């Protein structure tokens, strides 16, 4: 019997450790080389852990997004356990239903923004020469210039392209390299530590709607919590605020949580509303536009409504080129190559 139990537990441990654990959360650095069959199992150069067999991913460094998610879930549970029954009977069922809808919406947009492909780009497909020479030779000078090309609506300022020496690709306009994720991202806005992901062409819409729903949910919850603490407490027979708080501390707690939780998302929402109204990314604004009256944003359609619609309502980025679940290809795109060095860097390195 003891032997049977031991075998059964060994089997359970095997299923949990090798099947469930590796499928639910996969860290490519912990996958043995002989088991790397798909792209996500071999993606050791990225800071991602992959979820549900590579179907989505999270940045594993500084997982503040998990803390945000846990805070959201905790607030929701507290409301439904302590506040929802009272609100259902003494205010209106609609109050609880609307909060529940807003809460679910906020959580879903957080999950979508955190786990969606922001617009990851392939690597190593624009090498100027054979990869074996990367450590021996410097790159061509032309690959370290910023190139301005004519743009459809502006042929004098144009659109700029630049070579990424780390990813070995010529970046399209608005594409940038994220130092945290070590990858180039289409329409890279910024790397957001609160959603643990880059914000780019693939998930900017979800990020914006997450900010909006967070602000609305916080305002909604805070309003009804403070109404309960002030106006409705008398209905329950509590003239003193202190006595009511002793009776129902969760109401005040949720009210204060809403006040604190709304500040940063509201500021971000206002900032991104300004950015989207001008169809400019955070990166472009901070690096080029801020304090520079001569900056020309060629991507501005000169219509606030159209700019807002492009960012808030347009379809998500379709040209996803990174497919984590695809079978690994034995080509340069899966290799980790040294960055392309310039003549100055090479000469400095040689002299030292």
Partner 1 sequence: MTSSQDLVYFNYHEYVVPGQSFRKNNFTGPDKDDDLPLNLVVNHFPNPYVSQDDPVYHRTRIVRIPRAYDVMDGSEAIPQFSTYTPGNEPAALSGPETSGYGIHEGYVYGTTSKTQLVPQWVSDAEFREIVTHVNALIAEENRSLTWTSALVSFADVLTVTLLSTIGSQLLKKGSRMGQRLDAYTNNVNLGFEARHPDLKMILLSRTGFLLLDFQIPLTREIKKQPLDKTPLMSSR
- In terms of CB distance, is 79 or 109 closer to partner 1? 109
Using rule CB under 8 A, residue 78 touches partner 1: no
Rounded Cα distance between 96 and 80, Å, is 8
Asked if 174 and 119 touch (Cβ cutoff 8 Å), the reply is no
Residues contacting partner 1: total by CB under 8 A: 62
Query: Residue 329, SS3?
Result: coil
Catalytic residue among 192, 198, 218, 229: 192
- In DSSP terms, 49 is beta-bridged to 58
Using rule CB under 8 A, residue 121 touches partner 1: yes
Using rule CB under 8 A, residue 67 touches partner 1: no
Stretch that binds partner 1, among 6-14, 34-42, 155-163, 238-246 (CB under 8 A): 155-163
Among 18, 35, 155, 246, binds partner 1 (CB under 8 A): 155
Q: How far is the CB of 34 from partner 1 (least distance, A)?
A: 18
Rounded Cα distance between 45 and 211, Å, is 30
Using rule CB under 8 A, residue 259 touches partner 1: no
- In terms of CB distance, is 91 or 160 closer to partner 1? 160
Using rule CB under 8 A, residue 161 touches partner 1: yes
From the list 343, 338, 326, 309, the residue with the least C-alpha distance to 37 is 326
Among 34, 239, 294, 331, binds partner 1 (CB under 8 A): 331
189: which residues sit within 8 A by CB, 6+ positions away? 198, 199, 200, 204, 207, 281, 282, 283
Asked if 206 and 198 touch (Cβ cutoff 8 Å), the reply is no
Rounded Cα distance between 38 and 306, Å, is 40
Q: How far is the CB of 194 from partner 1 (least distance, A)?
A: 18
- In terms of CB distance, is 35 or 155 closer to partner 1? 155
- In DSSP terms, 162 is beta-bridged to 171
Using rule CB under 8 A, residue 148 touches partner 1: yes
Which DSSP string corresponds to 155-192? Answer: EEEEEEEEEETTTTEEEPTT-EEETTTTEEETT--EEE
Please indicate whether residue 218 is annotated as part of the active site.
no
Q: How far is the CB of 175 from partner 1 (least distance, A)?
A: 9
Asked if 229 and 244 touch (Cβ cutoff 8 Å), the reply is yes
Q: Token match 């309502």: residue?
A: 313
Among 70, 104, 136, 304, binds partner 1 (CB under 8 A): 104
Catalytic residue positions? 192
Q: Where do contacts with partner 1 occur on this chain (CB under 8 A)?
A: 101, 104-105, 108-109, 112, 121-122, 124-131, 133, 140-143, 147-153, 155-156, 158-159, 161, 169-170, 172-174, 187, 201, 205-206, 209, 299, 306, 309-310, 312-321, 323, 330-333
């Amino acid at each position: 019997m003891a032997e049977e139990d031991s075998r059964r537990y060994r089997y359970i441990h095997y299923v949990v450790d090798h099947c469930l654990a590796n499928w639910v959360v996969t860290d490519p650095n912990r996958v043995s080389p002989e088991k790397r069959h798909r792209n996500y199992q071999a993606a050791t150069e990225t800071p991602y852990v992959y979820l549900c067999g590579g179907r989505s991913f999270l940045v594993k460094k500084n997982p503040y997004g998990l803390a945000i998610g846990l805070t959201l879930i905790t607030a929701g549970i507290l409301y439904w356990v302590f506040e929802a029954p009272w609100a259902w009977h003494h205010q209106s069922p609609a109050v609880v239903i609307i909060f529940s809808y807003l809460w679910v919406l906020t959580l879903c947009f957080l999950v979508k923004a955190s786990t969606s492909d922001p617009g990851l780009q392939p690597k190593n497909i624009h090498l100027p020469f054979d990869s074996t020479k990367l450590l021996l030779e410097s790159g061509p000078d032309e690959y370290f210039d910023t190139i301005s090309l004519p743009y459809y609506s502006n042929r004098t300022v144009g659109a700029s392209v630049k070579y990424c020496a780390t990813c070995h690709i010529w970046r399209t306009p608005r594409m940038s390299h994220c130092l945290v994720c070590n990858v180039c991202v289409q329409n890279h806005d910024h790397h957001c530590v609160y959603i643990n992901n880059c914000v780019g062409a693939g998930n900017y819409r979800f990020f914006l709607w997450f900010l909006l729903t967070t602000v609305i949910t916080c305002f909604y919850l805070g309003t009804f919590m403070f109404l309960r603490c002030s106006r409705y407490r008398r209905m329950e027979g509590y003239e003193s605020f202190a006595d009511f708080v002793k009776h129902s501390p969760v109401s005040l707690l949720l009210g204060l949580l809403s006040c604190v939780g709304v500040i940063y998302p509201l500021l971000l929402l206002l900032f991104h509303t300004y950015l989207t109204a001008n169809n400019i990314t955070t990166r472009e604004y901070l690096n080029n536009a801020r304090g520079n009256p001569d900056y020309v944003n060629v991507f501005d359609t000169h219509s606030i409504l159209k700019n807002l619609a492009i960012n808030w309502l347009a379809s998500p980025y379709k040209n996803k080129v990174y497919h984590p679940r695809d079978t690994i290809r034995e080509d340069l795109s899966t290799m980790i190559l040294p960055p392309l060095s310039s003549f100055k860097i090479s000469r400095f390195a040689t002299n030292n």
